[in-house]
Homo-oligomer: A and B are copies of this chain.
Amino acid sequence: MNIAVLGVATTKFGELWDTSPRTLVREAVNGALADAQVALEDIDAIYVGNMLSGILGNQENLGAFYAEELGINAASAKVEGACASGGLAVHQGVLGILSGLYRRVLVIGVEKMTDHKPEHVASALMGAGSDGERIAGLTFPGLYALMAHACMQKYGITESDMAAVAVKNHYHASLNTYAHFHKPITKQAVLASSPVADPLKLLDCSPISDGAAAVVLGAESKAGRKSTVHIIGSSVSTDTLDLADRTVTTSLTATVRAAQGAYKQAGREPRDIDVAEAHDCFTIAELMALVDLGFSDGLKKAARRVDHGEFTLNSSKKLVVNPSGGLKACGHPVGATGVKQIVEITQQLRGESGKRQVPNAHVGLTHNVGGSGAVAVVHILKNSKS
Contacts and interface: CB of A to CB of B under 8 A. Distances in A.
Contact of A64 (B73, B78, B94, B371): B371
Interface string A296-335: 0000000000000000000000000000000000000000
Contacts of A370: 61, 64
A124 B53 CA distance: 12
A149 to B, nearest CB: 23
A151 interface: no
B101 A61 contact: no
Contacts of A92: 77, 92, 95
Interface string A197-209: 0000000000000
A51 interface: yes
A238 to B, nearest CB: 4
A99 B92 CA distance: 10
Contacts of A63: 80-81, 88, 238, 375
Contacts of A100: 98
B60 A127 contact: yes
A253 B253 CA distance: 45
Given A80-B60, A95-B96, A374-B68, A73 B127 contact: no
B238 A64 contact: yes
A186 B73 CA distance: 40
Contacts of A81: 61, 63-64, 76-78
Secondary structure class of chain A's binding surface, majority of residues: mixed
B375 A58 contact: no
Nearest to A80: B78
A146 interface: no
A52 interface: yes
Nearest to A82: B61
Contacts of A336: none
A55 interface: yes
A155 B58 CA distance: 35
B61 A58 contact: no
Contacts of A72: 238
Contact of A76 (B77, B78, B127, B238): B238
A340 B127 CA distance: 26
B123 A68 contact: no
Contact of A51 (B60, B88, B123, B241): B60
Contacts of A96: 95
Contacts of A67: 238, 241, 374
Contacts of A62: 80
A242 interface: yes
A295 interface: no
A174 interface: no
Given A82-B61, A98-B101, A127-B61, A73 B237 contact: yes
13 contacts: A55-B58, A55-B60, A58-B123, A58-B124, A59-B131, A61-B370, A73-B253, A73-B254, A73-B257, A76-B236, A80-B80, A98-B98, A98-B99
